[in-house]
Amino acid sequence: MLVASILILLIAIIGTIWYLARRSRPAPRKALPAPPEAPARLPEKYGKDQIVLLVKDPYWLYAYWEITASKREEFERLYGAGSWLESRPVLRIYDLTGHPYDDFLHAPYFEIAVTDFADNWYIPVGKPCSTFCVDLGRLHPRHGFIVLVRSNTVTTPADRPSQVIDPLWPPLEACWEASAKGRAGLSSPALLERRS
């Protein structure tokens, strides 16, 4: 019996030592995942002479543009040395509502002076349901307004719900009437006819 007690005590001591040694040993570390690749950056310039017009809301437009050095050199060649510095940049906004999209001579317009450092601009138009186009040009003291680039044409949305009612969907009153007559859940006239 003494031998059995000593053997149990010996096993308990060895087990405790093994357990404490294992617990104090740090767990093996897993390798860290590789850092993610840096996201690709969009270029600041694309090397293309252009202006893009977007609709912000029924009352505002937004335009962004790029004019390359070669366009500036061409301007200087056509209108004389130093003509770029003599002139100033201007946005000319055409209201093409009710005009053909290519009738820029008769369409009303207004102008906004911008700086040479600007490459985008918010344009207040204040006209829902209207069509616009923008020219970015330079106002020269001797040659007048010279177009550099012309934008796409955009139409501002309405600032109220549409007055057009889809003939396949009844107004709300018709739905309530159908509900009162025990045909609840059927809002389409075609479904109402099939059920009748």
The domains located in the chain, with CATH, are 50-155 (2.60.40.10)
Q: Is residue 35 very low, low, confident or very high in pLDDT (cuts 50, 70, 90)?
A: confident
Q: Round to whole Å and give the CA distance between 51 and 93.
A: 12
Q: Give the helix ranges, DSSP H, for 42-196.
A: 69-79, 83-86, 172-180, 189-195
Q: Which has the higher per-residue pLDDT, 176 or 44?
A: 44
With contact defined as beta carbons under 8 Å apart, do 58 and 128 qualify?
yes
The answer to whether residue 115 scores a pLDDT higher than 80 is: yes
Task: Mention every residue, 6+ apart, whose C-beta is less than 8 A from residue 94.
Answer: 104, 107, 108, 109, 132, 133, 134, 135
For residue 51, give the nearest of 61, 36, 39 by alpha carbon: 61
- Provide the 3-class DSSP secondary structure of residue 154: strand
Q: Does the pLDDT of residue 145 top 90, yes or no?
A: yes
pLDDT at residue 14, rounded to an integer: 82
Percent of residues, the chain, with pLDDT higher than 90: 51
Is the pLDDT at 147 greater than 60? The verdict is yes
Token readout for 107 is 């369409």
| Model confidence at 3: pLDDT above 80 | no
Q: Dihedral sign, CA of 78, 84, 87, 90?
A: positive
